[in-house]
Amino acid sequence: IEALGRVDVLCFDKTGTLTEGRITLRRVSDGATDEEIGALGDGMRAVLAAAVRASPWREGEGGVPHPTDRAVLDGARRIGIGPHDEVAGLSWVAEIAFEPARGYHATLTRHADGLLLSVKGAPEVLLARCTHWRGAPFDGAARRRVEAEIERLARKGHRVLAVGERPASDRADLDDERVGRLELRGLLALADPIRGTAAAAVSQLHSAGVDVLMVTGDHPSTAAAIGAELGMINGRGVLTGAELEELDDEQLAAVLPGVAVFARVSPSQKARLVRQLRKANRVVAMTGDGANDAPAIRLAHVGIALGTRATPAAREAADLIVTDDRIETITSALIEGRAMWSSVREAVGILVGGNLGEIGFTVATGLFGGAAGLNARQLLLVNLLTDVLPAMAVAVRPPPGVSPDQLLTEGPETSLGSALLRDVYRRAAVTAGAAGAGWLLARPVSTPGQAATTALVSLVGGQLAQTIALRGRTPLVVGAALGSLGALAVVVQVPGLSHFFGCRPLLPHQWAIAGGTTVAAAVAELLWHGQQPRPVRRTE
């Protein structure tokens, strides 16, 4: 919780956190034109059938683990397309499963005319392995045309996949070296709707001084389009994993402030980003769900595992597990962390401000009255009654009557800076004033011992009244304050205890004086506090 309250950089993957996590197949392209999934012509249906063959479609193998593969297979199934379209008697031979570092999924299948190699993956990976398109060499103008189509689809916020196939030799094994000399069949455009509340959450985090970065494996244009829609870009740029790999640590440190989106990054590059942000004295939170994300999650000050899809490795590495994957939940956790700093400021203000007031009153009465208003035992009694239970009750209860936006302005820099000094000085002045007023008002109608005891009750009552007035009338705080007042009344009025602490039992009019100064302290605290600004977090 303490680290959450200090976070000033929050690194998100896009899928399922900023978006709804419902990836669906929207459009199919042959590399030049595209059609909606519900209105595909024969040519586009052939492209989608090839994409199905390039997916983990094996019959009888249970569920498909990767959401992108599920989206492709579900989209094809809805319009009646399967792996056997165009190719009769198809049977599975071998496959290379998708991995982020590899960037593609490949299958080797057998049909009546021999073996068929089908590959689906990131366009920049697959296009480099393609040698033909539409029966002609895939170079020059043809490559530029396909790249323009990829860019067009990506700028609309689509996740783009490329699909390639070729006949294969009779070798039944499959490795990376064999995935090449493909003919580009076409492109798939998938979409994951942005959460309706994500833009507001990002804006709220920005206003709290938290830099929100998108760290994703998606195409840079796709990531940039979504980042712009969420208000994350703000004049900053996009850095790809390939570009990041070309930078040394010093160069990366120089460009980091100007980047809002990191696209096509690998898990190892995520870990490097966390290390670099920490070197820049940023307090980093990193989200992730895969086993490969565990190093970055562990390196962050606050590692966040996205619970519904997190692997055991990611969960073990994380400090916080978000069971619904929503950015709003992460924001709520951050608010709780900031609220802790608000409670710390108030508890420290109670302890330090009250003690300063006690010291000020004791010194002042010693200078102007010839003897200190409080003796050592009474000072110890005051600390026991005002600093132990009431301060602890304030520290552990949530800040009452404070909006989430206000709590997000809290944190170590703001809560323990000028705002804390204001709290300390205000409490010290009101505490010393209440005690001094009780002492002065009681002197003409009391013995010196009774005047000093009236000042003691005014001092304790004034501090407890301030605690209740501003720190919340919660049952815990009120109960702690009333318990302390009851204990004080017992000490003052019981002869043996009163004598032990150097007090004198008070008469009704002396209790009335102490009660009046107590109420005055609460009113002064409310009026003074109302004229002071809330802490403001500096934003870059």
Burial of 495 (0-12, 13-18, 19+ CB in 10 A): exposed
- The first and second tokens of residue 36, run together, are 């909606």
234: left (phi over 0), alpha (psi -120 to 50) or beta: left
Given the residues 13, 211, 289, 423, the one annotated as active site: 13
> Could you give the CA distance from residue 532 to residue 209 in angstroms, rounded to a whole number?
21
Sequence-ordered strand ranges (E) for 232-348:
237-240, 259-263, 284-288, 302-306, 320-322
Helix axes 354-369, 448-471, angle to 10 degrees: 160
Tokens matching residue 206? 């920005």
Taken in order 243, 247, 252, 254, is the CA torsion positive or negative? Answer: negative
* DSSP annotation of 163: E
User: What is the token pair recorded at 338?
Assistant: 């900031």
**What sign results for the dihedral spanned by CA atoms 27, 29, 33, 39?**
negative
Strand partners of residue 24: 191
Query: Alpha-carbon distance 482 to 390, whole Å?
Result: 9
- Under 8 Å between Cβ of 83 and 120: no
Is 13 an annotated catalytic residue? yes
CB atoms within 10 A of CB 436: 21
Q: How far is CA 538 from the centre of its chain?
A: 18
Strand pairing report for 159-168 and 114-121: antiparallel
- Tell me how far CA of residue 49 lies from CA of 32, 84, 252, 264, in angstroms: 18, 8, 42, 26
E strand or H helix at 119 = strand 114-121
Beta-carbon contacts of 346 under 8 Å, excluding residues fewer than 6 positions away, are 394, 395, 399, 423, 470, 471
Task: Determine the distance from the C-alpha atom of residue 293 to the mean position of all C-alpha atoms in its chain, rounded to a whole number.
Answer: 16
Catalytic residues: 13
